[in-house]
């Protein structure tokens, strides 16, 4: 089974995207970077290939979704605390991102989201390592409240 994951995203302006994600604290692998693409490092097993739209189109015969007007996916990544969620989204907005959805707080799980300059949706989340309380569902509702 594969142990690494690569997500490929089309971008309109590679430098703008690199500047944006650098402001959020991400780094890039120079071995996989040129004028068409870069490899953003999430961790040792997860990477996002940011591909200039024209180059991205060489990998598919389908139309490329305009992320500013439609949702093709929601990328999510975790951070170490609730405060880090807010801090990361704050950095994204300061770097040119736009708000996506209000904070969602389920007690054991806390997330907030933003759109990058190309309109891709990103969710930043923290989850209590102990997991949800025994009497709740993944949405934070009490099991007794379910029909």
- Give the pLDDT score at 18: 98
66-114 pLDDT per residue, tens: 888 888 889 999 999 999 999 999 999 999 999 998 999 999 999 999 9
- Give the pLDDT score at 136: 64
Which domain covers residue 15, as residue numbers?
1-58
Per the structure, the count of domains in the chain is 2
Report the C-alpha dihedral over residues 25, 50, 16, 125, rounded to 10 degrees: -40
24-79 pLDDT per residue, tens: 999 999 999 999 999 999 999 999 999 999 999 999 999 998 888 888 889 999 99
Same domain membership, residue 54 and residue 5: yes
- Per DSSP, the three-state class of 50 is strand
Q: At what angle do helices 14-23 and 82-94 cross, to 10 degrees?
A: 140
Same domain membership, residue 83 and residue 38: no
- Give the pLDDT score at 103: 95
Last residue of a domain, one of 58, 87, 104: 58
Same domain membership, residue 53 and residue 99: no
CA separation (Å) from 21 to 16, 71, 84, 94? Answer: 9, 20, 15, 11
- Give the pLDDT score at 45: 93
Residue 66 placed within a domain: no
| CB 10 within 8 Å of CB 53 | yes
Same domain membership, residue 127 and residue 104: yes
- Give the pLDDT score at 144: 38
- Residues paired with 74 in a beta bridge: 121
- Give the pLDDT score at 55: 96
Same domain membership, residue 107 and residue 54: no
pTM: predicted TM-score of the whole model, two decimal places: 0.81
Nearest Cα neighbor of 4 from 37, 32, 59, 41 is 41
> Higher pLDDT residue, 26 or 146?
26
Residue 34 placed within a domain: yes
Strand 109-115 relative to strand 98-105: parallel, antiparallel, unpaired?
Answer: antiparallel
Same domain membership, residue 85 and residue 30: no
- Give the pLDDT score at 6: 93
Determine the average pLDDT of the residues in 11-22.
97
Return the CATH number at 38.
3.10.180.10
Contacts of 73 (CB under 8 A, 6+ apart): 7, 120, 121
């Amino acid at each position: 089974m594969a142990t690494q994951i690569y997500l490929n995203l089309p971008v309109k302006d590679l430098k703008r995207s690199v500047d944006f994600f650098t402001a959020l604290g991400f780094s890039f692998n120079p071995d996989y970077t040129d004028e068409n693409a870069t490899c953003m490092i999430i961790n040792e097993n997860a990477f996002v290939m940011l591909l200039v739209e024209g180059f991205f189109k060489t990998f598919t015969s389908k139309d490329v979704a305009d992320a500013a007007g439609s949702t093709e996916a929601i990328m999510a990544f975790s951070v170490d605390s609730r405060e880090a969620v807010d801090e990361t989204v704050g950095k994204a907005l300061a770097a040119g991102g736009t708000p996506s959805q209000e904070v969602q707080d389920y007690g054991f799980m806390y997330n907030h989201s933003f759109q990058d300059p190309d309109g891709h949706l990103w969710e930043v989340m923290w989850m209590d390592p102990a997991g949800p309380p025994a009497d709740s569902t993944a949405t934070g509702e009490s099991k007794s409240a379910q029909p």
